[in-house]
Amino acid sequence: MNRIDNIPEIALGWHRDGTRAALATVVQTWGSAPRRVGAQLVVGGDGRIQGSVSGGCVEGAVIVEALEALEDGAHRLLEFGVSDEDAFAVGLACGGTIRVLVEPVGAVLPEPLLAELVQARQSRTALCYVVNVQTGERKLVRDSYPDRMRMDRSGFEEDGQVFVAVHNPPLRLIVVGAVHITQALVPMARIAGYDPILIDPRDAFGSSERFPGETILQDWPDEAVAQLGLDARTALVLLTHDPKLDDPALMAALAADVFYIGALGSLRTHAKRAERMTQAGFSEAQIGRIHGPVGLDIGAAGPAEIAVSILAQMTAVLRGRTA
């Protein structure tokens, strides 16, 4: 998890070590705002900061308000207009308006609640932080706001008083088969926000020379996915073209709640795959979750284009779109 995504953890650490901390969260935007709703900045009692709520153009004002909030122990709901000039400086074509909620940890945002949020994030448990900006009620909820969770979309409810901050686990891509397509897919997926993990027991394929800096598991696929765990924020892509390697991981995924399963191969290959899964006891509905041949039909002509088609299909499935 990078420093931008680690803001609740940093805030809890600063609060506990006596530095004190205030969390600033973008809760609403209009026009071309620099950061999306849910973006956060943490301000320490000593003036240090991590994260961003505006790409730099209103951070100074937010820091001043956060330091004052730490002194008076009250939350603040701030509104800023981002001018055309400031917007251009942070790489935007036009201005916009943002609202920022500032919450001192302890005085407003209870430490136990923040600690529970941090623990849930560390255990890859999806939840929402819900705050009523009028009454000050704050709580964590699970298994709620399914549309917001699927779309990673924080925001106000229709009443304009209840703000819902989505805290999903990081997206994860597990690829079985360290092949040429994988060499293109992994960096693309990383740019799109996924944590990629490669599984290939074949030393010649799954080597650090071919995939520098990547996590490579050289275990048998079923053992590897059991070790990793499979959840609703995980995509599994099978690229070995070898049933001995693909099928064990595929069976694990069909029995789990992964949001995407893709498998390389022709229509004939996929028909044989589906027959094997039927014989293994999986239902027609379960087998129907497999995207095979993998990727959108964009006429891909090589590994890089196939990787584009796979990532596009993963995104469509994640966001509930039919592509």
**CA-wise closest residue to 99 among 82, 81, 79, 83:** 79
Residue 89 pLDDT > 80: no
pLDDT of residue 59: 86
Q: Which residues span the domain enclosing 54?
A: 7-167
Strand duo 40-44 + 162-167: pairing: unpaired
Three-state DSSP string of the chain: CCCCCCHHHHHHHHHHCCCCEEEEEEEEEEECCCCCCCCEEEEECCCCEEECCCCCCCHHHHHHHHHHHHHHCCCEEEEEEECHHHHHHCCCCCCEEEEEEEEEECCCECHHHHHHHHHHHHCCCCEEEEEECCCCCEEEECCCCHHHHHHCCCEECCCCCEEEEEECCCEEEEEECCCHHHHHHHHHHHHCCEEEEEECCCCCCCCCCCCCCCEEECCCHHHHHHHHCCCCCEEEEECCCCHHHHHHHHHHHHCCCCCEEEECCCHHHHHHHHHHHHHCCCCHHHHCCEECCCCCCCCCCCHHHHHHHHHHHHHHHHCCCCC
Do residues 117 and 189 both lie within one domain?
Answer: no
> Does residue 176 sit in the same domain as residue 294?
yes
Using a pLDDT cut of 90, give the percent of the chain over it.
Answer: 77
> What's the pLDDT band for 138 if we cut at 50, 70, 90?
very high
Is residue 274 domain-resident? yes
Q: What is the pLDDT of residue 57?
A: 72
Q: Quick one: 101 and 229 in the same domain?
A: no
- Do 123 and 198 reside in the same domain of the chain? no
Query: Last residue of some domain: 167, 198, 233?
Result: 167
Closest CA to 35 of 12, 59, 15: 59
Which of 167, 184, 217 marks a domain boundary? 167
Does residue 2 belong to any structural domain of this protein? no
CB-based contact 175:237 (threshold 8 Å): yes
- pLDDT above 50 for 1: no
Q: How is residue 142 written in tokens?
A: 């699970």
pLDDT at 34 over 80: no
Higher pLDDT, 320 or 32: 320
Residues 163 and 271 in one domain: no
Q: Which of 145, 167, 189 is the last residue of a domain?
A: 167
Q: Are 72 and 197 found together in one domain? A: no
User: Is 92's pLDDT higher than 70?
Assistant: no
pLDDT band for position 13 (cuts 50, 70, 90): very high
**What is the C-alpha radius of gyration for the chain, rounded to an integer number of angstroms?**
22
CATH of residue 301's domain is 3.40.50.720
**Same domain for 177 and 189:** yes
194-199 and 162-167 strand pairing: unpaired
* 56 pLDDT above the threshold of 60: yes
Same domain, 136 and 199: no
CA dist 66 and 109 (Å) reads 13
Residue that wins the pLDDT comparison between 265 and 92: 265
Query: What pLDDT, in 10s, does the model give residues 149-188?
Result: 988 999 999 999 999 999 998 899 999 999 999 999 999 9
Distances from the Cα of 136 to the Cα of 25, 87, 115, angstroms: 15, 32, 18
Nearest CA-CA partner of 202 in 185, 174, 180, 221: 221
The whole-number pLDDT of residue 2 equals: 43
User: Residue 1 domain-assigned?
Assistant: no
Entry pTM: 0.79
| Residue that has been written with the tokens 């030393």 in this structure | 203
Say whether pLDDT at 62 is over 60.
yes
Same domain, 160 and 176: no
Enter the tokens of residue 129: 């932080």
Q: Judge whether 90 lies within some domain.
A: yes
In a domain, 276, yes or no: yes
* 140 and 177 inside one domain: no
Do 130 and 184 reside in the same domain of the chain? no
Is 60 exceeded by the pLDDT of residue 204? yes
- Say how far apart CA 281 and CA 304 lie, in whole Å: 35
pLDDT in tens, 249-296: 999 999 998 999 999 999 999 999 999 999 999 999 999 999 999 999
Domains in the chain, number: 2
Q: In sequence order, which residues have a C-beta less than 8 Å from that of residue 213 and are 6 or more positions away?
A: none
- Give the model confidence (pLDDT) of 15-28 as tens digits: 999 999 999 999 99
Domain co-membership, 163 together with 188: no
> Residue range 82-86: average pLDDT?
59
